[in-house]
Amino acid sequence: MTVALAMHDGLDRPPVKATGTAVRIAGVSHSFDKGDHKKPVLSHVDLTLKHGELVILTGPSGAGKTTLLTLVGTLRKLQAGSIEVLGTELLGLSARRQRQIRRRIGFIFQDHNLFDALTVFQTLKLASELADRRPGRSEMLDRAVEILSALGMEEYLHRRPGQLSTGQKQRVAIARALINQPKLILADEPTASLDLKASNAVIDLIKQRIKGQQASALMVTHDHRIFSVADRVVHMIDGQIAGQSFGFP
Protein backbone atom coordinates (compact mmCIF):
# COMPACT_ATOMS: atom_id res chain seq x y z
CA MET A 1 0.00 0.00 0.00
CA THR A 2 1.43 3.34 -0.98
CA VAL A 3 -0.27 6.43 0.31
CA ALA A 4 0.23 9.38 -1.98
CA LEU A 5 0.68 11.64 0.96
CA ALA A 6 3.89 13.46 1.72
CA MET A 7 4.22 14.40 5.35
CA HIS A 8 6.44 17.37 5.96
CA ASP A 9 7.37 18.33 9.46
CA GLY A 10 8.17 21.90 8.47
CA LEU A 11 11.82 21.70 9.42
CA ASP A 12 14.92 20.93 7.46
CA ARG A 13 14.00 17.36 6.83
CA PRO A 14 12.87 16.17 3.46
CA PRO A 15 9.34 14.79 3.33
CA VAL A 16 8.97 11.23 4.46
CA LYS A 17 6.71 9.07 2.36
CA ALA A 18 4.15 7.14 4.31
CA THR A 19 4.48 3.73 2.75
CA GLY A 20 2.69 1.86 5.45
CA THR A 21 5.91 0.17 6.45
CA ALA A 22 8.07 1.52 9.22
CA VAL A 23 10.98 -0.81 8.56
CA ARG A 24 11.64 -2.98 5.53
CA ILE A 25 14.59 -5.34 5.81
CA ALA A 26 15.41 -7.23 2.64
CA GLY A 27 18.22 -9.70 2.04
CA VAL A 28 20.42 -8.34 4.80
CA SER A 29 23.62 -10.23 5.51
CA HIS A 30 26.34 -9.19 7.90
CA SER A 31 29.66 -10.57 9.02
CA PHE A 32 32.30 -9.50 11.49
CA ASP A 33 36.03 -9.53 10.89
CA LYS A 34 37.67 -12.17 13.00
CA GLY A 35 41.33 -11.60 12.30
CA ASP A 36 41.93 -13.03 8.82
CA HIS A 37 38.57 -14.72 8.36
CA LYS A 38 35.04 -13.36 8.31
CA LYS A 39 32.45 -14.52 10.77
CA PRO A 40 28.96 -14.46 9.23
CA VAL A 41 26.33 -13.32 11.72
CA LEU A 42 23.28 -12.53 9.59
CA SER A 43 22.37 -14.17 6.31
CA HIS A 44 19.58 -13.05 3.99
CA VAL A 45 17.30 -11.65 6.64
CA ASP A 46 13.93 -10.34 5.45
CA LEU A 47 11.58 -8.62 7.87
CA THR A 48 8.96 -5.90 7.61
CA LEU A 49 7.45 -3.76 10.38
CA LYS A 50 4.21 -1.95 9.68
CA HIS A 51 3.36 1.36 11.29
CA GLY A 52 1.73 0.72 14.63
CA GLU A 53 3.23 -2.72 14.95
CA LEU A 54 5.13 -4.10 17.95
CA VAL A 55 7.40 -6.92 16.91
CA ILE A 56 9.37 -8.95 19.37
CA LEU A 57 12.62 -10.52 18.23
CA THR A 58 13.68 -13.55 20.20
CA GLY A 59 16.01 -16.45 19.90
CA PRO A 60 19.14 -17.93 21.45
CA SER A 61 22.11 -15.84 22.40
CA GLY A 62 24.43 -15.19 19.49
CA ALA A 63 21.63 -15.49 16.93
CA GLY A 64 22.32 -11.99 15.63
CA LYS A 65 19.34 -10.12 17.13
CA THR A 66 21.42 -7.27 18.49
CA THR A 67 23.38 -6.97 15.27
CA LEU A 68 20.14 -6.66 13.33
CA LEU A 69 18.91 -3.97 15.74
CA THR A 70 22.10 -1.90 15.34
CA LEU A 71 21.77 -2.12 11.56
CA VAL A 72 18.17 -0.90 11.63
CA GLY A 73 19.20 1.88 14.03
CA THR A 74 21.92 3.09 11.60
CA LEU A 75 24.45 2.45 14.34
CA ARG A 76 26.32 0.02 12.11
CA LYS A 77 27.14 0.22 8.43
CA LEU A 78 25.04 -1.94 6.17
CA GLN A 79 27.16 -4.48 4.28
CA ALA A 80 24.73 -6.32 2.04
CA GLY A 81 21.03 -6.11 1.34
CA SER A 82 18.66 -3.25 1.90
CA ILE A 83 17.03 -1.65 4.91
CA GLU A 84 14.48 1.10 4.65
CA VAL A 85 13.70 2.93 7.87
CA LEU A 86 10.80 5.41 7.99
CA GLY A 87 10.97 5.73 4.24
CA THR A 88 14.71 6.17 3.92
CA GLU A 89 17.09 3.62 2.42
CA LEU A 90 20.06 3.15 4.72
CA LEU A 91 22.58 2.01 2.12
CA GLY A 92 24.96 4.88 1.35
CA LEU A 93 23.41 7.21 3.91
CA SER A 94 25.14 10.58 4.53
CA ALA A 95 26.17 11.45 8.09
CA ARG A 96 23.58 14.21 8.13
CA ARG A 97 20.70 12.01 7.00
CA GLN A 98 21.90 9.37 9.43
CA ARG A 99 21.55 11.83 12.33
CA GLN A 100 18.10 12.81 11.11
CA ILE A 101 16.97 9.21 11.14
CA ARG A 102 18.52 8.51 14.52
CA ARG A 103 16.56 11.43 15.93
CA ARG A 104 13.29 9.78 14.93
CA ILE A 105 14.24 6.54 16.66
CA GLY A 106 13.86 5.87 20.36
CA PHE A 107 16.81 3.75 21.41
CA ILE A 108 16.56 1.64 24.53
CA PHE A 109 19.73 -0.22 25.38
CA GLN A 110 20.43 -2.80 28.03
CA ASP A 111 22.50 -0.23 29.91
CA HIS A 112 20.93 3.07 30.81
CA ASN A 113 24.00 5.15 29.78
CA LEU A 114 22.88 8.13 31.85
CA PHE A 115 25.24 11.01 32.67
CA ASP A 116 25.76 10.88 36.42
CA ALA A 117 25.97 14.68 36.45
CA LEU A 118 22.50 15.28 35.05
CA THR A 119 19.20 15.14 36.90
CA VAL A 120 16.34 13.20 35.39
CA PHE A 121 14.85 16.46 34.16
CA GLN A 122 18.14 17.62 32.64
CA THR A 123 18.52 14.26 30.91
CA LEU A 124 15.09 14.56 29.33
CA LYS A 125 15.68 18.19 28.43
CA LEU A 126 18.96 17.32 26.72
CA ALA A 127 17.12 14.69 24.66
CA SER A 128 14.44 17.19 23.75
CA GLU A 129 17.08 19.42 22.16
CA LEU A 130 16.87 16.99 19.27
CA ALA A 131 13.14 17.33 18.76
CA ASP A 132 11.82 18.89 15.57
CA ARG A 133 10.24 21.55 17.71
CA ARG A 134 12.00 22.22 20.99
CA PRO A 135 9.53 22.56 23.83
CA GLY A 136 9.71 25.60 26.11
CA ARG A 137 10.58 25.11 29.74
CA SER A 138 7.06 24.77 31.08
CA GLU A 139 5.98 22.49 28.25
CA MET A 140 9.14 20.49 28.83
CA LEU A 141 8.25 20.15 32.49
CA ASP A 142 4.72 18.98 31.63
CA ARG A 143 6.05 16.44 29.18
CA ALA A 144 8.65 15.15 31.60
CA VAL A 145 6.15 14.79 34.42
CA GLU A 146 3.68 13.07 32.12
CA ILE A 147 6.12 10.49 30.86
CA LEU A 148 7.65 9.90 34.29
CA SER A 149 4.20 9.47 35.81
CA ALA A 150 3.42 6.76 33.29
CA LEU A 151 6.55 4.99 34.54
CA GLY A 152 5.82 5.64 38.22
CA MET A 153 8.82 7.95 38.44
CA GLU A 154 7.36 11.44 38.77
CA GLU A 155 8.89 12.04 42.22
CA TYR A 156 12.37 11.58 40.87
CA LEU A 157 12.38 14.52 38.47
CA HIS A 158 15.28 16.27 40.15
CA ARG A 159 17.28 13.24 41.23
CA ARG A 160 20.60 12.25 39.72
CA PRO A 161 21.39 8.66 38.68
CA GLY A 162 23.45 8.17 41.84
CA GLN A 163 20.26 8.48 43.86
CA LEU A 164 18.29 5.96 41.78
CA SER A 165 18.07 2.16 41.72
CA THR A 166 19.04 0.22 38.61
CA GLY A 167 15.42 -0.28 37.65
CA GLN A 168 14.69 3.42 38.14
CA LYS A 169 17.65 4.39 35.99
CA GLN A 170 16.46 2.07 33.27
CA ARG A 171 13.05 3.72 33.36
CA VAL A 172 14.69 7.14 33.02
CA ALA A 173 16.51 5.81 29.96
CA ILE A 174 13.19 4.64 28.57
CA ALA A 175 11.64 8.05 29.24
CA ARG A 176 14.57 9.63 27.43
CA ALA A 177 14.00 7.34 24.44
CA LEU A 178 10.31 8.23 24.27
CA ILE A 179 10.32 11.95 25.14
CA ASN A 180 10.51 13.10 21.52
CA GLN A 181 7.71 10.76 20.44
CA PRO A 182 9.85 8.66 18.12
CA LYS A 183 8.32 7.00 15.08
CA LEU A 184 10.33 3.86 15.72
CA ILE A 185 11.39 2.30 19.01
CA LEU A 186 14.36 -0.08 19.02
CA ALA A 187 14.81 -1.84 22.32
CA ASP A 188 17.21 -4.54 23.45
CA GLU A 189 16.07 -6.37 26.60
CA PRO A 190 14.41 -3.22 27.97
CA THR A 191 12.87 -5.01 30.92
CA ALA A 192 15.87 -7.06 31.98
CA SER A 193 16.52 -4.98 35.08
CA LEU A 194 12.87 -4.36 35.98
CA ASP A 195 10.43 -6.12 38.29
CA LEU A 196 7.09 -7.28 36.95
CA LYS A 197 5.20 -4.12 37.87
CA ALA A 198 7.79 -1.82 36.28
CA SER A 199 8.04 -4.12 33.24
CA ASN A 200 4.32 -3.87 32.72
CA ALA A 201 4.41 -0.09 33.07
CA VAL A 202 7.16 0.13 30.46
CA ILE A 203 5.38 -2.18 28.05
CA ASP A 204 2.08 -0.36 28.55
CA LEU A 205 3.78 2.93 27.78
CA ILE A 206 5.42 1.61 24.63
CA LYS A 207 2.17 0.02 23.55
CA GLN A 208 0.29 3.26 24.15
CA ARG A 209 2.86 5.27 22.21
CA ILE A 210 2.58 2.90 19.31
CA LYS A 211 -1.21 3.08 19.17
CA GLY A 212 -1.41 6.80 19.76
CA GLN A 213 1.23 8.00 17.39
CA GLN A 214 1.44 5.39 14.70
CA ALA A 215 4.89 4.47 15.83
CA SER A 216 6.26 0.95 15.73
CA ALA A 217 8.66 -1.01 17.85
CA LEU A 218 11.22 -3.73 17.34
CA MET A 219 12.10 -5.25 20.66
CA VAL A 220 14.59 -7.96 21.53
CA THR A 221 13.53 -9.89 24.60
CA HIS A 222 13.56 -13.29 26.21
CA ASP A 223 10.89 -12.17 28.64
CA HIS A 224 7.94 -14.45 27.92
CA ARG A 225 5.75 -12.33 30.17
CA ILE A 226 5.64 -9.64 27.51
CA PHE A 227 5.24 -11.83 24.46
CA SER A 228 1.50 -11.44 24.90
CA VAL A 229 1.52 -7.73 24.04
CA ALA A 230 3.35 -8.18 20.75
CA ASP A 231 1.64 -8.19 17.39
CA ARG A 232 4.21 -10.72 16.23
CA VAL A 233 7.07 -12.66 17.73
CA VAL A 234 9.92 -13.35 15.34
CA HIS A 235 12.33 -16.16 16.11
CA MET A 236 15.93 -15.88 15.03
CA ILE A 237 18.43 -18.69 15.00
CA ASP A 238 21.95 -18.56 13.58
CA GLY A 239 21.47 -15.28 11.79
CA GLN A 240 18.29 -16.29 10.07
CA ILE A 241 14.59 -15.80 10.67
CA ALA A 242 13.41 -19.21 11.79
CA GLY A 243 9.73 -18.40 11.99
CA GLN A 244 7.12 -16.15 13.53
CA SER A 245 4.09 -16.49 15.71
CA PHE A 246 1.00 -14.27 15.62
CA GLY A 247 -2.01 -13.61 17.74
CA PHE A 248 -0.97 -14.05 21.31
CA PRO A 249 -3.91 -14.03 23.65
Ligand X SMILES: Nc1ncnc2c1ncn2[C@@H]1O[C@H](COP(=O)(O)OP(=O)(O)O)[C@@H](O)[C@H]1O
| Least separation in angstroms between CB 55 and ligand X | 15
Question: Binding partner of residue 125 among ligand X, another protein, Mg ion, none, CB under 5 to 8 Å per kind?
Answer: another protein
> Hey, what amino acid is at 161?
P
Question: Binding partner of residue 41 among another protein, ligand X, Mg ion, none, CB under 5 to 8 Å per kind?
Answer: ligand X
Q: Which of 22, 23, 45, 63 binds ligand X (CB under 6 A)?
A: 63
Residue in the shown chain whose Cβ atom is closest to ligand X: 66
Q: Is 66 in the site for Mg ion (CB under 5 A)?
A: yes
Question: Binding partner of residue 76 among another protein, Mg ion, ligand X, none, CB under 5 to 8 Å per kind?
Answer: another protein
Say how many C-beta atoms besides its own lie within 10 A of residue 199's C-beta: 19
Question: Binding partner of residue 91 among ligand X, another protein, Mg ion, none, CB under 5 to 8 Å per kind?
Answer: none
Q: Burial code of 65-97, b = ≥16 C-beta within 10 A, e = fewer?
A: bbbbbebbbbeeebeebebbbbbbebeebeeeb
DSSP for 118-136, written as a single string = S-HHHHHHHHHTTSSS---
CA dihedral 68, 181, 109, 39 (to 10 degrees): 10
Q: Is 62 in the site for ligand X (CB under 6 A)?
A: yes
Q: Where do the H-state alpha helices sit in the chain?
A: 65-72, 95-102, 120-128, 137-150, 166-178, 196-213
Q: Is 61 in the site for ligand X (CB under 6 A)?
A: yes
Q: Is 32 in the site for ligand X (CB under 6 A)?
A: yes
- The DSSP bridge partners found for residue 236 are 241
Question: Binding partner of residue 32 among Mg ion, another protein, ligand X, none, CB under 5 to 8 Å per kind?
Answer: ligand X
Task: Point out which residues bind ligand X (CB under 6 A).
Answer: 32, 41, 61-67
